[in-house]
Structures are given as C-alpha cells and as structure tokens.
Amino acid sequence: MKRKIKRLFTVWVSVVIVATLLLSGCETPPKPSRTEETIYVTSQLSENDNLVTSSAPPYSIDLQLASAPKVGETAELTTLIKTSRTSTLNVKKVWFKFMWRNTEGTYQEYINPVEVPITEVSSGNTENWSGALTKESPLDFRIPIKLLKPGLWDITCYAEVEDANGKQEVYNRIYLGTAVDKAGILGTEADRLGQLEWMKDYCPVSGESFGSSGYKLDTGIGLPRPPELGKLIVLTWSVLSGYDTGTVNIRIDFYRYAYSKISWQNIPLDTVLVEGKLQWEGALKKGIPVSGSATIVIPEEGDWEIVVTCVDSETNSDGFSGIYLSVNKDSSKWGWAESHLPPPDPNAPKPPPAPFP
C-alpha cells in the first residue's frame, strides 16, 4: 500500500502534462478556437548554443481551427504571426508537427504519440511560407487539414524569425480529439462547460524503478485495446534487468476506483484471472527479458489501474509500471474518467511565484 500511495502522489505532477496531451472534444465551437499561450524561444546565431526562454517575447503565433474536424472532415488551419515591434522582421520559415495518439489500439500506442507527416493530413503547401513581418502587417497563412485517424492530436506550428539580435524561434499548439461521430478542441467553450470529458485522462504517469546505481529493473505491461466490461482479454507483461539478480518477485495487481470515490480497492486476483499466471519468481540475467501473459476479465465498472511490480529484496530495488483505464457498461477507454485525488486544502499556503528565467 505504501508503494501504491507513493506512486500516485509522487508522480501526480505529470497529470497536468498527460491531461493536456490527452486532448478533448465534443462539439464544434461557435467561433474559431484560439490557443492561449505562445512559447517563445531565443537562440543565438549558432544552432549549437543553448536555448533560453524569453521573458519579454516580441513575437507570437495565433493558431486557430474554425471547427473541430471529425474523422475525414476538412477544416481550415490558420496561422497568424504577429509582432509588437515597430521594425520590420524577417520570417524565414514556418513549419508544422502533427503528433497522434491512438485511442483505439494498444496501451503503449496510447501513451506514446507518433509523428504523422503533414502530407498525410494536408494538401496545402507550406514550403514557401516566409515574408516580412511588421506590427501593422501580421502574416496570415492557411491550409486545409483532414484527420483520417481517430485519436488525440497535438498540432504545433513553428516559425523562425530573424532580427538584429539573431534568430528567434516561436511555436504554439492546438490539442484536439477526433472520432467518427464527435470532435473537439481543448480550451474551447465546450471544454469549459464540461462537455469534453470523453477525451480527458486524469491518471498519473507510471513507470519507475528504484534502487542504487546499476540496479535497474525495467517493467512493461500491455493490453491490445481498452477492455470491455465482462469480456476476456489477454494481458502481457515483461521485465528487463540491468544486472544479474538473485531471486526476484514479479506480480500483477489490480486496483479499482469507484466513480466519485477517492479510495481504491485492491481486487483479489482470482476475480480477474481466467487463465495463466499473474505472479512469477526467479533470477534474471542482465539484458535478457522475461515475459508472460494471462487472460483476464474486468468484472466491475470504474477507473482501473493494473500494475506490474518487480521486487529484488537483496538489492532493495524494484520497478513498476501500470495501465490506467476506465470501464463501464457502455464503453471503455484508456485513462481515468475522473480524478481520484482529494480536493486541495483551501487553507494551505500558496507557493511563491516562480521567478522569470
């Protein structure tokens, strides 16, 4: 239980990242969406120099989608590059990165986004996007996009601007989710009204190892798709050691959070195991993985965490990683449908503001 609590609360900082990347959408917004923040990065003439975040950014990118496209629909992506400076600046190039998470495939596909070439999502030409930028004359570029895969998308636009101080690089992004029958953009009115819960993920990031230097245990766990309530599915696990071990213990545990509840239940293995084994004991050789599988069933509705843990008592080392999913009678999805952390203490002292870099 101690490891369970430690895992949830020490890695919960990553929830913000996950919840942001695991995008959202349900209704087409009534007006173009606008991202709320542009990231500004200053670089010197040499591309090998360190990048430094600017505290007084003079440039911005306003990235917009007039509507959230469902799978196969076309929407116009608008890039508006602006500056607060009065002098003329040179926008040397503009480019995009489309990252996609598969919400219908394996858990590893869900948590590891892949880059999709722009040629697969747009017929527009961005190769010659450049020009003179002034305060009175922002640059306005537009391309059509068509997302052919359901899932979660992170669309990022980059621009390289040159002035007397060298090269400036800025970027901004839109997060959205798309399916055959619905789509939506994070940060829109639909999101603020709570209509995009179907795309959100409230689980922490899992996958850690503890131990002294050189004693690393890498664990992996997977399911081929989000499991349906009461239906059989094959779970796989693996462990790779960075050293020759003595006897280690590997175990798969199931934790269930009832909806609208903070506390969790450790589910007995005999209620989820149909065939195979969820425990293993033996010695590991450095660099040689061990793996196994078992047929399981998710018997109850709720938010679930399935964890593989490898413990080496001799070296006081362990490693663990988990799968997070939400299962109900109508559907199932990767990630939790709601947060199960206690609400923040309103009387707790607020941390001091972070200094400018």
Which of 48-62, 133-147, 224-238 is the least confident region? 48-62
Q: How many domains is the chain built from? A: 2
Residues 242 and 260 in one domain: yes
* 242 within 8 A of 286, measured Cβ to Cβ: yes
Regarding beta strands 317-327 and 208-210, do their DSSP bridges make them parallel or antiparallel, or are they unpaired?
antiparallel
In a domain, 354, yes or no: no
In a domain, 343, yes or no: no
* 272 within 8 A of 296, measured Cβ to Cβ: yes
In a domain, 142, yes or no: yes
Question: Can you tell me the mean pLDDT for 28-39?
Answer: 36
Q: How many CB atoms lie under 10 A from the CB of residue 25?
A: 28
User: Of 195, 211, 234, which residue sits at a domain end?
Assistant: 195
Does the CA dihedral 201-38-170-130 come out positive or negative? positive
∠ CA 251-215-205, rounded to 5°: 55
Judging by beta carbons within 10 Å of its beta carbon (0-12, 13-18, 19+), is residue 30 exposed, middle or buried? exposed
Question: Can you tell me the mean pLDDT for 209-223?
Answer: 89
254: containing domain: 2-14+202-334
Q: What is the pLDDT of residues 321-353, one digit of tens each?
A: 999 999 999 999 999 999 998 888 888 887 777
Residues 217 and 315 in one domain: yes
Residues 296 and 206 in one domain: yes
In a domain, 58, yes or no: yes
Print the SS3 string covering 126-185: CCCCCEEECCCCCEEEEEEEECCCCEEEEEEEEEEEEECCEEEEEEEEEEEEECCCCEEE
Residues 144 and 267 in one domain: no
Residues 37 and 180 in one domain: yes
In a domain, 175, yes or no: yes
In a domain, 185, yes or no: yes
Residues 206 and 326 in one domain: yes
Residues 170 and 270 in one domain: no
In a domain, 353, yes or no: no
Residue 319 φ/ψ region, left for φ over 0, alpha for ψ in the -120 to 50 degree band, beta for the rest: beta
Question: Can you tell me the mean pLDDT for 176-203?
Answer: 90
Q: Does position 211 have pLDDT exceeding 70, yes or no? A: yes
Percent of the chain with pLDDT over 90: 58
Residues 271 and 179 in one domain: no
User: Of 177, 195, 213, which residue sits at a domain end?
Assistant: 195
Residues 95 and 125 in one domain: yes
Torsion angle of C-alpha atoms 328, 333, 337, 340, degrees rounded to 10: 90
Q: What is the pLDDT of residues 74-104, one digit of tens each?
A: 999 999 998 887 788 888 889 999 999 999 9
Which of 56-70, 71-85, 137-151 is the least confident region? 56-70
Residue 247 maps to which CATH number? Answer: 2.60.40.10
What does the pLDDT read at residue 357? Answer: 45
Q: What is the pLDDT of residues 226-284, one digit of tens each?
A: 999 999 999 999 999 999 999 999 999 999 999 999 999 999 999 999 999 999 999 99
What does the pLDDT read at residue 57? Answer: 57
Helices (H) and strands (E) in the chain, counts: 4, 23
Residues 102 and 213 in one domain: no
What does the pLDDT read at residue 356? Answer: 52
Q: What is the pLDDT of residues 292-324, one digit of tens each?
A: 999 999 999 999 999 999 999 999 999 999 999
In a domain, 72, yes or no: yes
What does the pLDDT read at residue 355? Answer: 61
What does the pLDDT read at residue 314? Answer: 93
Residues 168 and 43 in one domain: yes
Please give the structure tokens belonging to residue 77: 């992506």
Q: What is the helix, strand, coil percentage profile of the chain, to 5?
A: 10, 45, 45
Give the residue, 219 or 28, on which the prediction is more confident: 219
Residues 329 and 187 in one domain: no
pLDDT band at 9 (very low <50, low <70, confident <90, very high): very low
User: What does pTM read for this prediction?
Assistant: 0.76
Phi, psi of 346 (to 5 degrees): -65, -20
User: Of 195, 223, 240, which residue sits at a domain end?
Assistant: 195
